[in-house]
Amino acid sequence: MTYPDERIVHYEFDDMGKVVGVTVTRNGEDRVIASSIEYLHFAPMKGLDFGNGINLAKSFDQAYRITSRKQDCITIASGTMIWRQGGI
């Protein structure tokens, strides 16, 4: 995808069509935005490496609800989340 400022975004896909990497090219220079993007079987992204070297890892329960989120081994969120039935 090319933006008006001539920045080009390159998406890398796996065999299932999911994005596994994102790179931006501007003025002939490539910059990695995200790489090693991993997914669970039914869609949720479970982790990636940002271009600045920070790693993101997420954990989910059997219903694919997020149970924890860590960035570079620092726990951002963890515990039991309560999901209400019937909306807000």
* pLDDT (tens digit per residue) in 40-64: 987 789 999 999 999 999 988 888 8
How many structural domains does the chain have?
1
Q: Is residue 43 part of a domain?
A: yes
DSSP-assigned letters across all residues of 22-55 = EEEEETTEEEEEEEEEEE-TTS-EEEEEETTS-E
What is the value of pTM for the model shown? 0.76
Give domain status of residue 85, yes or no: no
pLDDT tops 70 at residue 36: yes
pLDDT of 72 reads 81
Element (H, E) at 45: strand 45-50
Is 34 inside a domain boundary?
Answer: yes
* Residue 87 included in any domain: no
Give the domain extent around 64: 8-76
